[in-house]
Amino acid sequence: MRIKKFKKLLRERGQLPCLVTDLNDIRYLTGYCGSNAALLIDDKKSFFISDSRYEEYILSILPPGFRFFLQKGVQADSVKDAFSITDKKVLHIQAGLVTYSFYSGLKKKLKGVKIIPLAEDPVAELRIIKDESEIALFRRAAEITDACFNHLLKFIRPGLTEWEISVEIDLFYKRNGCRGCSFDPIVASGAGSSMPHYIPSMKKIVEQGDALLIDMGCIYEGYNSDLTRTVFVNKVDAELESVYNIVYRAQARAIAAVRPGIDTGELDSAARSYIAEHGYGDNFGHGLGHGLGIEIHEAPAIKKNSVSGIKKNMVITIEPGIYIPGKGGVRIEDMVLVTAGGSEVLTRCSKALTVI
């Protein structure tokens, strides 16, 4: 059980008692999906703090060794009241995941208690390495995402707006067992495809000759997928065809380099150096990829000069791109599972240059 593993980690590090307030961390540890909660974790007395809206729900998922503690006012007051039951004089908190106002308020309420902010989130250390149940969910999320892209190849036609395509993506996911999109889909046509985080237009119509960049993902059983493909409508501009092939090969080089032990910066360089060698180094401004999980962007960040180590059972994205302002852009992205001997690409829809 994750909460048991987490408590063991805290015990080994001398970080008990510990207050967890980040809702994504709480969801990872307990399965809780509500909008208000805190976990006060100690060796003998642990508390799941929330308000009356979630009492029945929390009691149905309450981890062994936890008591539900009803929040009647602001959260900091309830933390103070629950903490007084532990008879402890030290409390560890997630430094980067609480507001200053919460921290200062808690400090005033817990007089005589030493509050120790943890520079590194200990839950994140567990979340970054996926277990077999999580990997199974990623596989299914990737399958649905592949199916969505294949559906779009039949759905897209000149005359549709970018927004209509974006809506179709969301509807497809919801029809196929997903909560919806893991982020607002990027549907960028024509010159708009040169903007990496373009916002789909309700007015821009997909036209013949457009490059069409689609970046999308679904939420399946709480886990996020992420995929980008770039296709061309009716015909391909000569320079963008060349750019497509460069991005395709750069991504292949990076995927081939994925293995336990490689630094994220070295992995980024596998694609970035190839793009630079072909004259487009200044047209690839973002990082190569990121981790995936219950959030769409998780550790590790795979970018230039970063030094985090890639480890077995991470799920990451590899997404190089080249963007030419005023003309268009190409990005190709896949979900990649790090294996003992290298990697497995989870998203498998075609990356061949496609004209629709």
pLDDT given at position 97: 83
pLDDT given at position 317: 99
> DSSP secondary structure string, 295-327?
SSSEEEEE-TT--PBP-TT-EEEE--EEEETTT
Alpha-carbon span 143 to 146, nearest angstrom: 5
With cut-offs at 50, 70 and 90, classify the pLDDT of residue 193.
Answer: very high
Residue 351 to residues 248, 286, 348: CA-CA distances in angstroms? 8, 21, 8
With cut-offs at 50, 70 and 90, classify the pLDDT of residue 279.
Answer: very high
pLDDT tens for 301-355 read: 999 999 999 999 999 999 999 999 999 999 999 999 999 999 999 999 999 999 9
- 3-state class (DSSP) for residue 273: helix
Alpha-carbon span 190 to 253, nearest angstrom: 27
> DSSP secondary structure string, 23-84?
HHHHHHHH----S--EEEE-SS-EEEEE-GGGHHHHHHHPPTTEEEEE--S-HHHHHHHHHH
- Residue 87's contacts (CB-CB under 8 Å, 6 or more residues apart) are none
pLDDT at 27 over 90: yes
Q: Where do runs of H (alpha helix) occur along the chain?
A: 2-13, 23-30, 55-61, 75-86, 100-109, 122-127, 132-155, 162-175, 238-257, 264-277
With cut-offs at 50, 70 and 90, classify the pLDDT of residue 18.
Answer: very high
Residues of the chain with CATH 3.90.230.10: 132-345
Distance of CA 59 to the CA centre of its chain: 29
Tell me the one-letter amino acid at 240: L
With cut-offs at 50, 70 and 90, classify the pLDDT of residue 175.
Answer: very high
Dihedral angle over CA of 337, 338, 341, 342, nearest 10: 80
With cut-offs at 50, 70 and 90, classify the pLDDT of residue 120.
Answer: confident
Residue 83, φ and ψ in degrees, nearest 5: -65, -30
Supply the pTM of this predicted model: 0.95
Distance of CA 152 to the CA centre of its chain: 23
pLDDT at 183 over 90: yes
pLDDT given at position 172: 99
pLDDT at 119 over 90: no
Angle between helix axes 132-155 and 162-175 (nearest 10 degrees) is 140
* Of 87, 38, 128, 52, residue with least CA distance to 313: 128
2-127: what fold? Answer: Creatine Amidinohydrolase; Chain A, domain 1 (3.40.350)
pLDDT given at position 167: 99
pLDDT given at position 1: 83
Residue found under tokens 């990005």: 331
Alpha-carbon span 270 to 77, nearest angstrom: 51
Alpha-carbon span 355 to 129, nearest angstrom: 38
pLDDT given at position 232: 98
Residues of the chain with CATH 3.40.350.10: 2-127
pLDDT at 99 over 90: no
Handedness of CA 208, 236, 329, 151 (dihedral sign): positive
Question: Residue 111 burial (CB < 10 Å; 0-12/13-18/19+)?
Answer: exposed
We find that the CATH architecture of domain 132-345 is Alpha-Beta Complex (3.90)
pLDDT at 96 over 90: no
| Average pLDDT of the residues in 243-249 | 99
Mean pLDDT of the chain: 97
